[in-house]
Amino acid sequence: MAALALRWPLPMAMSITHRGTGVALSLGVSFFGLAALLLPEQFPHYLAMVKSLSLGPALIYSAKFALAFPFTYHTWNGIRHLAWDLGKGFKIPQVNQSGVLVLILTLLSSAGLAAM
């Protein structure tokens, strides 16, 4: 028996991802704010603790990329939605092209931010 392959259309997958990154950003900001209020030390103390772990550059870069990805994806896809609010890009080929453009811009800008 062949396994059923679930293949979502690109606009559907991107819409779900847009909502997911919005939730992730909101939770991240909320947890960071709560940590700033409730933890006994200041931020530089915790930053020094992370630095003392001597994590490799590949792990640091990967973590920074993972933090940058939701921000960049949500931003670029939000700009795409603003274009739709102006009535631009509603035809299916344009929707798919702008979706691919958002993904490319997300990967490039996340990589750039992680490299900083």
Q: Are 68 and 106 in contact (CB under 8 A)?
A: no
Choose the CATH number for 56-116 among 3.60.20.10, 1.20.1300.10, 3.40.50.800, 2.60.40.420. 1.20.1300.10
Q: Looking at the whole model, is its pTM more than 0.75?
A: yes
The set of residues, in sequence order, having a beta carbon less than 8 Å from that of 42 and lying 6+ positions away, is none
Rounded to whole angstroms, the Cα distance separating 48 from 60 reads: 14
59-83 residue pLDDT tens:
999 999 999 999 999 999 999 999 9
Q: Is 54 left (phi over 0), alpha (psi -120 to 50) or beta?
A: left
pLDDT of residue 55: 92
All structural domains of the chain with their residue ranges = 56-116
pLDDT of residue 4: 60
Task: For the chain, give the mean pLDDT.
Answer: 92
pLDDT of residue 3: 58
pLDDT of residue 92: 87
The mean pLDDT value for 87-91 works out to: 87
